[in-house]
Amino acid sequence: MNAQLVQFLQLSLNGVAIGSIYALVALGIVLTYKATEVLNFAYGDILMMSAFIGWGLIAVVGLPFWLAVLITIAIAAFLGYMLDRHIMRTIVGQPQFAGVMLTIAVAFMLRGAVSMMFGPTSRNYPTPWSGQITHLGPLVIADLSLVILATALLVTALLFLFLRYTQLGIAIQAASQNQLAAYLCGIRVKWLNSLVWGVAAAMAAVCGLLLAPTALVDISLWFVVLKGLAALVLGGFGSVPGAIIGGLLIGLIEQFAGVYLPDGFKEMMAQLVLIGVLIFWPRGLLGEAHGRRV
């Protein structure tokens, strides 16, 4: 194969690898959105905090990798549950803007707390796949990236089936569309919402633990939530398969922009895509069209 094609395929592979992270982030956000109609701006900070906790457990306390991962996910899930139960529940019934503001506030608090406790230096921790790469013909991909891709696909499939086919999943969607009616149908709305937040936080922990070895355990990890939002918008707001497709596409677009476009575009690409999609095609690829009945 000639060099051009190899570069094209390698870029595509890299794009899919990084795109899987974006897809996972988008999935976590779409889950809370589908359940409580709140856009969780704190997702990136829960992600970042989990990375720091993981580092602490692996590098400082010295626990084996898998144990540290499980404990971190448990801590994050617990935190997510408590977050909804004590903080998000106080603003039920207020317009969507209040929810946005509150999650931004929580994001600030998490960011500040982690900054204060761990300081500004970047850190790293070893994983079972550190330094290992797989060769696919002339192409190279890190084992860690394969793991990320597999995790993303697995989580997407589980989430999709859960929301579509289980009673719990349908109950969650019902509660988001008309909360009072859901109560009257006997759905334990408050408990469900907190459960969803816990699951979303657990997903954030998974993202953080998988992303950190590549991007380093650093405060700036929270930025990935902005890429996740771009992925969500591209794929179509409120759509679970859309989140995955959007994430992969953003990853691919970024990689290609880094090579084929002038310097500096790569960092902006996700935001430019978000702006472009919202202006010209607000529904995104697979989004639902919403109208207001008067």
Partner 1 sequence: MRFDYDTSYADPQRLLRYRSQWIAYGTLVLALIAAPWVLPPYYVGELNYLFIVSIASLALMILTGYTGQVSLGHAAFMAIGAYAHAWFLNNGLGFIASILCASALTAAVGLVIGLPAIRVSGLYLAMITLAGALVTEQIIGRWKDVTGGYSGLSVPAPIVFGFDFGSLRAFYFLCLFVLVLVLSGLLNLMRGRTGRAFVGVRDSEAAAYTLGIWVGGHKVLAFVISAFVTGIAGALLAHHLQFLTPDGFGLTLSMELVLMVVIGGLGSLRGAVFGAVLIGLLPTLISKIKPALPASIATQFGLETFVFGLILALFVMFEPAGLNGRWIKLKVLLQNFPLYRRNTFRRGKVYMHSERYR
Interacting residues toward partner 1 by CB under 8 A: 36-37, 39, 87, 90-98, 100-102, 104-117, 119-120, 176-180, 183, 226, 229-230, 233, 237-238, 263-264, 267-268, 271-272, 274-275, 278-279, 282, 288, 290, 292-294
Residue closer to partner 1 (CB basis): 98 or 141: 98
CB of 13 within 8 A of CB of 255?
no
Question: Six-digit token pair at 272?
Answer: 């430019």
Choice between 132 and 178, CB closer to partner 1: 178
Classify residue 37 by its DSSP letter.
S
Least CB distance from residue 1 to partner 1, whole Å?
A: 35
Least Cβ distance, residue 185 to partner 1 (angstroms): 13
The dihedral region occupied by 211, where left means phi > 0, alpha psi between -120 and 50, and beta the remainder, is alpha
CB of 66 to partner 1, least distance (A): 30
- Minimum distance from residue 229 beta carbon to partner 1 (Å): 6
Write the single-letter amino acid at 233.
V
Residue 196 Cβ vs partner 1, minimum distance, rounded to whole Å: 13
Q: Which is nearer to partner 1, 5 or 288 (CB)?
A: 288
**DSSP labels for 90-139?**
GGTTS-HHHHHHHHHHHHHHHHHHHHHHH-S--B----TTTT-EEEETTE
- In DSSP terms, which residues pair with 134 in a beta bridge? 141
Q: Closer CB to partner 1, residue 167 or residue 263?
A: 263
Q: Is 285 helix (H, G, I), strand (E, B) or coil?
A: coil
Residue with tokens 């448990």, as numbered in its chain: 74
Cβ 274 to partner 1 shortest distance, Å: 5
Nearest residue (CB) to partner 1, 68 versus 107: 107
Count of CB atoms situated within 10 Å of the CB of 274: 20
Q: Smaller CB distance to partner 1: residue 93 or 186? A: 93
CB 81 within 8 A of CB 195: yes
